Amino acid sequence: MMLRGSVGNLPAHLTTFVGRRQERADVKRLLSGSRLVTLTGPGGVGKTRLSQRAAADVRRAFRDGVWFVSVSSVSSSALLAATVAKTLGLQTQPSTRVEDSLVEHLASRSTLLIFDNCEHLVGACAGLIDELLRACPELHVLVTSREPLGIMGENVLPVAPLPVPPDEPGTSGDPTAYESVALFVDRARSVVPGFQLTEDNRDAVVTVCRHLDGIPLALELAAVRLRGLSPAELAERLADRFQLLNSGSRTAPDRQRTLRGCVDWSYDLCTPAEQDLWACVSVFSGGFELDAAEAICGGAEPMALLEILLSLVDKSIVVSEEADGRMRYRMLEVIAQYGLERLREAGQEHAARVRHRDFYAALADRSGAEWIGSAQREWMDRLRRDHLNFQAALGFCVDEPGEEEEGLRIAGGLREHWLRSGALDEGRHWFDLLLARGDYSAETCARALYAAAWLGVVQADVGYAAPLIERGRKTAGELDDVMRAQFDNLNAMTAVLTGDTATAIADNERALAVFQSANAVNQEISALISLQLAHGSAGDTESALRRHAECLRRCEQIGDYWFRSYSLWHAGVMYWQRGDAERAITTLRDALRLKRDLADQLGAALCIEGIAWATAERDPQRGAVLLGVAEARLDALGTRASRLPWAAAPHQACVEELTRTLGERRATRAREKGAHLGAGEGIDFALEEEPDASAPDTTRPAPTSLTKRENEVAELVAQGLSNKAIASTLVISQRTAETHVENILSKLGFTSRAQIAAWLAREAD
C-alpha cells in the first residue's frame, strides 16, 4: 500500500505516529540544505518510522517522488544496486552496469531516495550513494543506519529514544506530555480497547517507559503484553525484558519481532573486539569516562581501546556526550543488560566487577585527599557524574562476602559527596549496612564513623550521631591527633543541636588548635564554621561574624568555595538577626550563587530559607513563596527546618508572621506555589533572575491564540477523535486536519493531544 496522490512507494502508516515533532522539523531543515541526511541511532529507536513520516512531510518538494528502499532485506553488497533499480521499476540490461542505469534514470529527476537499515552493508551503501549524488544533481538521499556512512556531504542526525518522565521526587503533571508514555498509551489502546491512564496505573506505566529507555520498539512490544498482564504486573517482570518482550508483529522483520532479535542484530555486526568491550562496559551504571574504561576494560593499548570505544559510538551501541568539559559515555539500559548477559556467559562478570570496585574505591580515596581549594569543584562534578557507579560498587561490596572493608572505604571517602548531593539517607543506608559487619582496620572504620556521624548531625539526628561519635573516639584512640580532633569537632556540633553551647564552643576551640598546629586546612575551616554556628546559637552574633571573617580569609588563601558558601550562609542569618535585612539578603544570595555552582542541594535550601526570613516582613507574598521553595527542597532531602535548631525557631516565626499578614489561605497557597517550582526555578526566583513567581499565573495560553478553525479542531481532539474522524466531521482532508493539530500543538507549546484536552478543561473552569 502506498500513499495516495504521490509519486513513489512510500508505505502508508498502519498505526498512529506519535511525537518526534522536533526531529521531523530537523529532517526537513537538513534536507533543504543538504542532499544527504543520515538518521543514526540504536535498533528499535524509530529511525525507519521517522524517515517515512519526515519524507511524507516533504514529498511535495520532489516532483519525481519519494522512494523507499529496504536495504535490510539485501543480503549481499552485489545485490544493492539491483534492489534500488527494482524499487524504482527500472528494467536493466545485462550489458550495462546497474549503477549506470540508475544514474541515467535519476540524472534529471527530482527524487528523494530513502535507504533504510544500511548498517550491515554500510560500505556498499556509502559507495553507491556517493556515486549517485555526484552524478544526479537533483537527487536527495535520506538514510537510516546504526552508524554513519562516513562520506563527504553527509549530515548526521542522531535519533534518541523518546523522552521519559524524570525519576525525581515530587514529579507531577500529565505523564502523556512525555512522548514515550504517549506512545505506550496509544499502542495499549490498540491492544486493550478502552485502555486509559489512571491514578491507579500511571506509576506502573511510567516505570515501564523508564525501564525501557523510551525505545519505541520496546514500548510497542511491551504494550502487546497488556493482553495478559496489568501494567503493574508488566512493570514487575521487566527485570527479564528480553524474555518478556518476545512477541511482536508476525509481519515484521525477524530483528524487529523481539527485543532480543533487535539487539542480536547489532551485536552480530560488531567485531570480536567491539563485542568484548560492549560486554565489559556493561558493568558501569549511569555512564563512564575514558579513564574508567581503561582501568576496568584494559588489555588493549589505550589508543586501541579508544578506537574500539569510538567505533561502538559510531554503531550507536554507546552514546557519547560532553559533561562538565569531559567526554562521557553511556549505554541504554536495554543494551547494557544485553552486554551484561554476554559478560556472564563468558564467566567474566565477577572479575570485571572487582576491577570496577577497585577503580571507584581509589577514586573516592583521591577525592578525599585532594578535596581542598579550587580542586573541590572538579571533584564535586566527578563524584556527581559517577554517583550510580559508586552505588553499584557499594552494592557489590555488600552482596559479596569479604568485600565489606572496600565498601566501607568507598562510603567513608564520599562524605562530602553525600552532603553536597543531598543523598543523606542513602549515605546512612550504606553506613548502616556496612558498619554492622566486618572486622575493619582502625583507619577505615574511623573515617567511616566520622562521615556517618556527620550525616546524622546535618539531619539533626543526635540519637543517630552520638553513638557513632563515641565509637569513633574509641577507634581513633590509636590514630593521629587530627583524627581524634575531628570527633571533638563532631561532638561540638551535637552540643549545638542539644543547646549546650558552652560545650560546643570549648570542644570546637580544642579541635581548632589541633588542626591549626597540624596545618590541616580543611578541618581548620570546618571548625571555624562550627564555631560560627555555636556562637550564633549562643546569641553572640559579633563572635560568630568574627569567626566568619577568619573563615573567609582562609578560604581565600586556598581558593575554596565549598566552606566559603556555608560561612556566607550563616553570616547572612546573623545579619538578619541583627536587623539588617538588606545585607542579609545580599550575603545569602552570594552564598546561594556558590551553592548553585557547586550543585549543593542542602546548602541551597538553607540559603533560600534564610532569604525567606529576611524577605517576609518587607514582601510577605514573595517571602511565602520562598518559604515554600525551601520547604520542598528540604523535604526532598529527608529533613525539615523544624528539625534544625539553627533554623527551627526562625522558620516557625516566619510561618506565623506570614499567616498573620496574608491570612492562612493566601499564605498556604503562596507556599504551595513555591513548593511546585523546580529546583532550578526556585533558585532563580530567590536570586530574582526570573519573572516573579509570586505574581498571578500567566503561563496558560490565551484562548485567542488559536484561530476559530483551530479551536474547533481542539474541541474534537479533546473529545478523543482521531485526525481521520476530525476530517470527516469538519469535511476537510485528513492532511489538513493533521496540519491543524500540529499548529495547535506548536502554538500552545504542547507535545500530546492529552495536553490539549487538559488545557481546554482548564479554560472551561
Q: Please list, in sequence order, all residues whose beta carbon lies within 8 angstroms of the beta carbon of residue 392, skipping any fewer than 6 positions away.
A: 283, 284, 285, 356
State percent of the chain over pLDDT 90: 48
Q: What is the rounded CA–CA span in Å between residue 196 and residue 253?
A: 30
Greatest alpha-carbon span in the chain: 102
Ranking 85-94, 144-153, 621-630 by mean pLDDT, the lowest is 85-94
pLDDT value for 343:
94
CB 387 within 8 A of CB 285: no
Q: What is the rounded CA–CA span in Å between residue 119 and residue 315?
A: 8
pLDDT value for 458:
85
User: If you search the block for the grid coordinates 515554600, which residue do you land on?
Assistant: 628
> Considering the chain, what is the average pLDDT of its residues?
86
pLDDT value for 642:
84
User: If you search the block for the grid coordinates 498573620, which residue do you land on?
Assistant: 660
Find residue 141's DSSP bridge partners.
36, 113
Coil, helix or strand at residue 751: coil
Q: What is the rounded CA–CA span in Å between residue 215 and residue 210?
A: 9
Query: Does the pLDDT of residue 690 top 70, yes or no?
Result: no
Q: Please list, in sequence order, all residues whose beta carbon lies within 8 angstroms of the beta carbon of residue 398, skipping any fewer than 6 positions away.
A: 404, 407, 430, 433, 434
pLDDT value for 551:
93
Q: Which of 190-194, 255-259, 404-408 has the highest mean pLDDT?
A: 404-408
CB 389 within 8 A of CB 361: no
CB 201 within 8 A of CB 180: no
Q: What is the rounded CA–CA span in Å between residue 301 and residue 304?
A: 5
CB 712 within 8 A of CB 730: yes
CB 155 within 8 A of CB 148: no
Whole-prediction pTM value? Answer: 0.74
pLDDT bin (cut points 50, 70, 90) of residue 20 is confident
Strand order across the 319-323 sheet: 288-289, 326-330, 319-323
Query: What topology is assigned to 21-158 in CATH?
Result: Rossmann fold (3.40.50)
User: What angle (nearest 5°) sits at the alpha carbon of residue 389, between those of residues 298 and 408?
Assistant: 105
pLDDT value for 192:
87
Ranking 87-96, 282-291, 648-657 by mean pLDDT, the lowest is 87-96
Query: Quick one: DSSP state of residue 40?
Result: E
Averaged pLDDT, 3-31: 79
Ranking 133-142, 238-247, 391-400 by mean pLDDT, the lowest is 238-247
**Which H helix or E strand runs over 320?**
strand 319-323
pLDDT in tens, 259-286: 777 788 788 888 999 999 999 999 999 8
pLDDT value for 286:
87
User: If you search the block for the grid coordinates 553525600, which residue do you land on?
Assistant: 418
**Which of 662, 672, 649, 576 is CA-nearest to residue 619?**
662
Averaged pLDDT, 753-757: 75
Coil, helix or strand at residue 100: helix
CB 626 within 8 A of CB 705: no
pLDDT value for 5:
40
CB 12 within 8 A of CB 2: yes
pLDDT value for 725:
73
DSSP string covering 444-464, please?
A: HHHHHHHHHHHHHHHTT-HHH
* Better-predicted residue by pLDDT, 84 or 743: 84
pLDDT value for 696:
41
pLDDT value for 172:
54
Cell (9 digits) for 356? 570496577
Q: What is the rounded CA–CA span in Å between residue 89 and residue 77?
A: 20
pLDDT value for 19:
83
Cell (9 digits) for 321? 556526550
pLDDT value for 746:
64
CA distance to 100, 137, 409, 427, per residue, from 441 (Å)? 77, 74, 10, 20
Q: What is the rounded CA–CA span in Å between residue 574 and residue 629?
A: 21
Q: What is the rounded CA–CA span in Å between residue 497 and residue 22?
A: 53
Ranking 558-562, 574-578, 745-749 by mean pLDDT, the lowest is 745-749
Phi, psi of 609 (to 5 degrees): -60, -45
pLDDT bin (cut points 50, 70, 90) of residue 665 is very high
Domain ranges of the chain: 21-158, 175-260, 371-470, 561-686, 703-764
pLDDT in tens, 294-339: 999 977 677 889 999 999 998 888 888 887 778 999 988 888 888 9
Q: What is the rounded CA–CA span in Å between residue 225 and residue 256?
A: 16
Query: Does the pLDDT of residue 416 top 60, yes or no?
Result: yes
pLDDT in tens, 611-654: 999 999 889 999 999 999 999 988 887 778 887 777 888 999 99
pLDDT value for 390:
95
pLDDT value for 245:
57
**Which of 558, 622, 621, 570 is CA-nearest to residue 595?**
570
Ranking 9-13, 378-382, 736-740, 759-763 by mean pLDDT, the lowest is 759-763
pLDDT value for 747:
67
User: What angle (nearest 5°) sits at the alpha carbon of residue 502, between those of residues 499 and 507?
Assistant: 105
pLDDT in tens, 364-387: 999 888 877 677 788 888 998 999
Strand order across the 139-145 sheet: 66-70, 111-116, 139-145, 36-40, 154-158
Q: What is the rounded CA–CA span in Å between residue 8 and residue 2?
A: 8
Cell (9 digits) for 122? 554500510
Averaged pLDDT, 92-104: 87
Query: What topology is assigned to 561-686 in CATH?
Result: 1.25.40
CATH 1.10.10.10 for domain 703-764, yes or no, is yes
How many C-beta atoms surround the C-beta of residue 529 within 10 A?
A: 22
pLDDT bin (cut points 50, 70, 90) of residue 723 is confident
Query: Does the pLDDT of residue 170 top 70, yes or no?
Result: no
Count H helices and E strands in the chain, helices first. Answer: 39, 8
